[in-house]
Amino acid sequence: MKGGLFVVGLLVAALVGAVAASTEAVRRPVVPAMFVLGDSTLDVGNNNHLPGKDVPRANQPFYGVDFPGSAIATGRFSNGYNIADFIARYLGFEKSPLAYLVLKSRNYLIPSALTRGVSYASAGAGILDSTSAGNSIPLSKQVRYFAATKAEMEAVAGRGNVSRLLARSFFLLGVGSNDLFQSTATTQGDVIALYTTLISNYTAAINDLYVMGARKFGVISVSPLGCVPAVRVLNVTGACNDAMNQIAMGFTATLKSALAGLAQKLPCLAYSLGDSFAALETNFSNPQAAGYVSVDSACCGSGRLGAEGGYCTRNSKLCADHDAYVYWDWIHATQRAAELGAQALFNEGPAQVTAPISFGQLADER
């Protein structure tokens, strides 16, 4: 593992993961609400409300150019919906619950929390507070925002009602890629120590949510970080960075056993771990079958692999067929890849990417 982790300075988040095919219909929600904690793969606008010039924000074209109904930049790092939206749709909602900071600013937090849920996800966020420090809402703070939400919910609806609602709600978590991207670990020993710190803080956050009443956890692990255009472009051949992918896979393996351990300790905790790595890999090897013409370039960007100019901007070049690309910008998935990814998490595609149960089975559990 020579070379270890790249410090990819500005890299902010994780790409989504997974890929599969076809559509799903909005039906009656199978869970009372959905609470989302994580990074840019799930952010639906929290960062638009964070102060600071270095905060990563997807609040300008060409982000949102295909956003259903309005074609506006909402804060999602995508041309349209992100994977949180598609998971929400599978659960029977129209799209992801709104961002916590948006709901706060509109004085609409509690009505949303009681009927649909809340998203705390923030681009750049890490499991560690030191990751993107000052420019995102780290996981620990997202958990505190949830605690504050819960207290307000109880004041309005009563403790018993809130406790019943939370126990049946879907908690979607997706974080860790930024910690891996920004780490300076180089030796095998450093990487193992990093896993230990990350997993200890991740399980602490899940435990905190559990103590507050959460029972159903849909967890999306990190994706093939070494294959995002921003990393590929660093190699003259445009190849994936294998060392980085190894680090991502090692993290997923560690997370897998940590979650199994938690489930043994905490009565009634149910979870599904989505391995977006496995999901994407099948499609990287046979892109045409999934309808892709490009799995290595950003649809919106500039220069080689569309990854030399950083994020997607209104001056970027756009690919002709947005759905034919896995990547929208130099790091993040297109709406189409997010849709296929969500489908794989619900195991409605051919790829089996979740363990021990699918997101759909998790949602249906009592």
Ligand X SMILES: *[C@@H]1O[C@H](CO)[C@@H](O)[C@H](O)[C@H]1NC(C)=O
Catalytic annotation present for 332: yes
Asked whether the beta carbons of 343 and 22 are under 8 A apart, the reply is yes
Listed ranges 83-91, 122-130, 218-226, 303-311: which one lies at the site for ligand X (CB under 6 A): 122-130
In angstroms, the CA 32 to CA 153 distance is 14
Among 79, 183, 201, 221, interactor with ligand X by CB under 6 A: 201
Smallest separation (angstroms) from ligand X to the CB of 247: 14
Task: Tell me the site size for ligand X, rule CB under 6 A.
Answer: 29
- Please provide residue 302's backbone torsions phi and psi, each rounded to the nearest 5 degrees: -150, 160
249 binds ligand X (CB under 6 A): no
Indicate which residue of 39, 40, 119, 275 is catalytic.
40
Taking the mean position of all CA atoms in its chain, how far away is CA 122?
A: 9
Burial class (CB in 10 A: 0-12, 13-18, 19+), 235: exposed
Nearer to ligand X, 151 or 239 (CB): 239
Indicate which residue of 85, 296, 323, 329 is catalytic.
329
Among 10, 59, 140, 168, interactor with ligand X by CB under 6 A: 140
Listed ranges 66-74, 95-103, 212-220, 286-294: which one lies at the site for ligand X (CB under 6 A): 286-294
Q: What is the enclosing helix (H) or strand (E) of 55?
A: none
Catalytic annotation present for 40: yes
Q: Are strands 300-301 and 294-298 parallel, antiparallel or unpaired?
A: unpaired
335 binds ligand X (CB under 6 A): no
Nearer to ligand X, 102 or 340 (CB): 340
Smallest separation (angstroms) from ligand X to the CB of 213: 15
Among 72, 155, 239, 253, interactor with ligand X by CB under 6 A: 239
As a whole number of Å, the CA-based R_g of the chain is 19
1 binds ligand X (CB under 6 A): no
Smallest separation (angstroms) from ligand X to the CB of 96: 21
Q: Which residue has the tokens 């609806």?
A: 157
279 binds ligand X (CB under 6 A): yes
Listed ranges 13-21, 33-41, 81-89, 173-181: which one lies at the site for ligand X (CB under 6 A): 13-21
Among 261, 286, 321, 365, interactor with ligand X by CB under 6 A: 286
Q: Give SS3 for 260.
A: helix
Q: Which residue has the tokens 């998203």?
A: 119
Q: Which DSSP letter does residue 234 get?
A: T
Taking the mean position of all CA atoms in its chain, how far away is CA 180?
A: 14
In angstroms, the CA 86 to CA 335 distance is 9
Smallest separation (angstroms) from ligand X to the CB of 163: 11
Listed residue (101, 122, 119, 98) closest to 39, CA to CA = 122
In angstroms, the CA 141 to CA 43 distance is 15
Listed ranges 72-80, 112-120, 145-153, 344-352: which one lies at the site for ligand X (CB under 6 A): 344-352
Smallest separation (angstroms) from ligand X to the CB of 71: 27
Burial class (CB in 10 A: 0-12, 13-18, 19+), 32: middle
Nearer to ligand X, 40 or 276 (CB): 276
CA angle centred on 94, ends 88 and 98, rounded to 5°: 75
The site for ligand X (CB under 6 A) is made up of 18-21, 128-130, 140, 157-158, 161, 201, 204-205, 235, 237, 239, 279, 282-283, 286, 289-290, 340, 344, 349-351, 353
The residues carrying an active-site annotation are: 40, 329, 332
